[in-house]
Each structure stands twice: as structure tokens, then as C-alpha cells.
Structure 1
Amino acid sequence: MRTPAIAALGVLAALASCAPVADGGMAENAPARARQCFSISQVDNFAQGRRDQIFLGVGRNDVYELDAAGGCPDMDFAIRLALIPDGGAVGTRLCTDDWARIMVPGSASQTSVCRVRVSRKLTAEEIAALPADHRP
């Protein structure tokens, strides 16, 4: 006859874990990081930084940094690219920490594809500090 009592304790523990807490469930010393997003149609330009780093010029003043998994071939001579959100992303909007694919028509093959993660939106100071050949 202990099975109903154990089951009831399990239900109570599960309900307690869903109870709201004063800090919204976040630790006091963990700052909330707002995701910053952009529409793919707003991308005006791009530039490669390091082999695994791409900067996107978005709108009038924004620059986003993308980190490529393993680098992106053919980016150094690319004059155009396609940015495609990975599965699960709906629409044409990408946010920080989202994954996407960059497709570049290349000279060595018909099309080069690399996987990238939107790592962050640069501040105005960071944009000004970028080397000229890294600025989109």
C-alpha cells in the first residue's frame, strides 16, 4: 500500500519544481542576456575576419559577428552569399545564438556551404575598432 503514498510524493515534488521564484528562476549573479535579432533581408554587406569569423553589415549601422564551424571556404573572394537559417528557425529572422548556413558560389566548386552561429551584435566602439578589411 505504499505505492500511492510514493506516487503522491512524486506529484508534489514535480509541482513544487514548477512553483514561481522571486528571481524568475535565474541566479542573482547571472545577468539576463537579451537576444538581438535581425532580418536576413536587412543584410547589406559582409566581410571575413579570421578564417572562422564573418561580419555582417545589417541596416544602416549594425554589425553582427558570425562564428563559422570549421571556417568558410571561398569567403575571401566572395561577392555574394546566401544566409539560410537552420531547421527550427521560422521565417527569415536570425538572433544571437541561432545557427544558419552560408552558401557561397565558389571558384573551386559550384557552391561552398558552411555552418555559422550568430555570436553577437557589435557595439559602436567595436565596429570603429575593426580593421578596415574586416568591416562590412
Structure 2
Amino acid sequence: MSARFISAVLLCAAAGLAACAPTSSGDAAHSGQSAQSAAAGARACVFQRDIRNFRVSSDERNIYVRGPGQTIYRLEVAGACPELDHPLAIGFAPRGGINNLCTGDMTRLVFGRSASAIPCDVRMAGALSAAEVAALPERERP
């Protein structure tokens, strides 16, 4: 393989990783937007290890998770998920060893209610704007 080919592959990989980079509040301040609205408009990403709290929506179709700072992300449940009623904890079973979630990505959640919990498929819908967070019922805000 030529050095030019390897350089092109590395450049493409770096660009792909940059597309999933979380939006920092410093960048949003320069553009005149809040960090949340900037994250909501872009391909929002969060490392699974940075999720600090979660809540399940009353209809059990969405899971709201709090990432770094005050950013709240919405995960959409894909299909049946019998363990969603009153979970005590969640854990991620990432596909392909990926440890971050970006808008549109699929992952599996395991709910810590029992040792034999069945994983559920979820899709990262993205970061919520400040208005969307304010519109959430209090019991659904992580």
C-alpha cells in the first residue's frame, strides 16, 4: 500500500470521528447559540460512560438520559422492551465495541432490575433543545 493511500484512509477516519464529537459550550458561545440548541441542531453524540441519570417516558417509548453538563438526550425504544417498567439501573451493550452514541445510532440497553434482564434495542434520537427539556413532564426529566 502506498503512503498516499494510507494517508487518505486515516484522513477519512479522522473526519468520521469528528462528526461524532460532542459539541462544547465554548464553540456554541462563539456562534451565539446555547450549547443545547447547537447540540440539538447537529449530529449530537455522547459517550455511554458519561451518562449520569435516566428516566423512562410514561408511554415507555422513550428513555431520556442526562449526559455531560445539562444536556439531555432522547433514546427511542425499538420494539418490545419488557423490562422498562420501573428499572433501577441501565447498562449499555454496544454493538461493534462502539462506546459512544450519535444521533441515529442503534445500541442495546440492559435494565438492572433482574439478573436475567432481556436487552432492548434503542435508537439515539439526539439531544433535546432547552424548549424540549422544559416541555418534558417533571417525572420524565433525568
How many residues of Structure 1 are paired with residues of Structure 2 in the alignment?
101
1:131 aligns with 2:140: no
- Alignment-derived partner of residue 62 in structure 1: 71
- Alignment-derived partner of residue 41 in structure 1: 49
Show structure 2 runs of 5+ residues with no match.
1-40
- Kindly indicate whether the alpha-carbon contact (under 8 Å) linking 2:83 and 2:117 is maintained by their aligned counterparts in 1: no
1:104 aligns with 2:120: no
- In structure 2, give the amino acid aligned to 1:98: D
- Alignment-derived partner of residue 76 in structure 1: 85
- Kindly indicate whether the alpha-carbon contact (under 8 Å) linking 1:105 and 1:112 is maintained by their aligned counterparts in 2: no
- In structure 2, give the amino acid aligned to 1:63: I
Q: Secondary structure at the match of 1:75?
A: coil
Post-superposition CA distance 1:76-98 (Å, at most 9, x none):
321111122223xx541110000
Higher percent of residues as strand: 1
Q: Secondary structure at the match of 1:54?
A: strand
Q: 1:117 to 1:63 in 2, by over 3 A?
A: same
Q: Secondary structure at the match of 2:131?
A: helix
Structure number, greater radius of gyration: 1
Q: State the TM-score, normalizing by the size of structure 2.
A: 0.64
Question: CA–CA distance in 1 between the matches of 2:68 and 2:81?
Answer: 23
- Alignment-derived partner of residue 18 in structure 1: none
- Kindly indicate whether the alpha-carbon contact (under 8 Å) linking 2:73 and 2:127 is maintained by their aligned counterparts in 1: yes
Question: Which 4+ runs in 1 deviate beyond 6 A?
Answer: none
Q: State the TM-score, normalizing by the size of structure 1.
A: 0.67
Q: Percent identity between the aligned chains?
A: 33
Show structure 1 runs of 5+ residues with no match.
1-32
